[in-house]
Amino acid sequence: MQIEDLTSLYNIYSDKFEQLKKIFDVSRIETKIQEIDTKIIDDPSFYNKQESRQILKEQMRLKKLLEEWKLLTEKYEEIGVLLELLKEGNLDIENELNSENKILNKMLDEFEVKMILNDNHDSNDAIVTIHSGAGGTEANDWAEMLYRMYNRWIEKKGYKLEVLDFIEGDKVGIKSITFNVIGPYSYGYLKGESGIHRLVRLSPFDANNKRHTSFASVFVLPDVDEEIEIEINESELKIETFRASGAGGQHVNKTDSAVRITHLPTGIVVTCQNERSQHQNKANALKILKAKLYEREMEKKREEKEKLESSKGEIGWGNQIRSYVLHPYRMVKDLRTKIEIGNADAVLDGEIDEFIDAYLLFNAGKKSVKGN
């Protein structure tokens, strides 16, 4: 690239950096960290309190945010020095500067998204459920493909996945799966994945090699297990045990380890059968129930406050958010943000950050418009 082009790029990134600098109040973040440190030191019983986990989580989040800002600032200043050296005639660093500019741009975009993740539970872990739609084998296979996509994304983020419930398909794939995504901001990143995902492809299960369309739904909830008070009255629960189905070994198939809990006042039903221990399955089922009851209460409040848009309500087959087309062309398109990616294989291998970031920025823009 020419010096003028590199300078122009740096000026664009400089504007982005200065805008973020106006929003990101370093002194306020440092004060909040100091307040938490003081609370921990001054309260001998701090670690015995229920809210301690959430406070420590917030402390870690703020410290990480400060560290990332420090690294971003250092990168920005380093590129400024490189640009000055290039202007002084040190042409050997042109390629290095070009590479560093790309790194800076990526860091700026990632930090901008982090700034957006400031809703109440964005920093929480996530509970994700995938259900296959109508279509039997085709839909079950599609649900398993989606699960693999998220699993690969989780691995790339350095997060941890813990399966809470799993029902395999009759022949192949998955009918339903619920899993925990454990890692900072996992709910914030994944919340925009809730909705209907549509696949168009030549079916590997059709002897005539015809094109098929399959659907699967994705639900994402924040893990609020130890964070809030949700009263669950045992007398309002119908708890049933049964033998787990599908893979799991002889032990699972010979004991009534699976648990189904029905919350009688709301009719919410959750099942867990992935663990060999009935006790652990019950604990996981209660965890999912608690998240669903919390989400239900939050939904009521949102409806009362602003009469939520249809896309924020209960997810139905009409709320399609993304199409994955593998035939007659290859393209993945988000129907909300209009982002299109031609490398469908990479997307299905977990490269979904572009969709996630675009949705968060899109949604933040909608909130901003509403606020005005």
User: Is the predicted pLDDT of residue 31 greater than 90, yes or no?
Assistant: yes
284 Cβ contact list (under 8 Å, min separation 6):
164, 165, 272, 274, 275
In this predicted model, what pLDDT tens digit does every residue of 107-125 receive, in sequence order?
998 888 888 887 878 888 9
Tokens coding 199: 């696949």
For 370, what's the count of Cα atoms within 13 Å in the CB-facing half-sphere? 11
Question: E strands along 243-353, which residues?
Answer: 258-263, 268-272, 320-325, 331-334, 340-341
Tell me what the pLDDT averaged over the chain comes to: 85
Domain with CATH 1.20.58 in the chain: 3-116
State phi, psi for 168 to the nearest 5 degrees: -80, 160
Q: Are strands 195-202 and 320-325 parallel, antiparallel or unpaired?
A: parallel
Q: Output 275 or 216, whichever has higher pLDDT.
A: 216
Q: In the CATH scheme, what is the code of domain 126-223+323-371?
A: 3.30.70.1660
Domain with CATH 3.30.160.20 in the chain: 234-306
In angstroms, rounded to a whole number, what is the distance separating the alpha carbons of residues 60 and 29? 12
Domain with CATH 3.30.70.1660 in the chain: 126-223+323-371
Tokens coding 53: 């986990």
Q: What does pTM read for this prediction?
A: 0.71
Tokens coding 81: 């020095």
What are the distances in angstroms from CA 163 to CA 130, 285, 357? 12, 12, 25
Q: Which of 130-139, 221-230, 312-321, 341-350 has the lowest mean pLDDT?
A: 312-321
What's the pLDDT score for residue 206?
A: 82
User: Is the predicted pLDDT of residue 9 greater than 90, yes or no?
Assistant: no
Q: Residue 1 has what DSSP assignment? A: -
Q: 108: part of which helix (H) or strand (E)?
A: helix 94-116
CATH class of residue range 234-306: alpha beta
CB 318 within 8 A of CB 297: no
Domain 3-116, CATH among 1.20.120, 3.30.70, 1.20.58, 1.10.357? 1.20.58
Distance from the Cα of residue 296 to its chain's centroid: 19
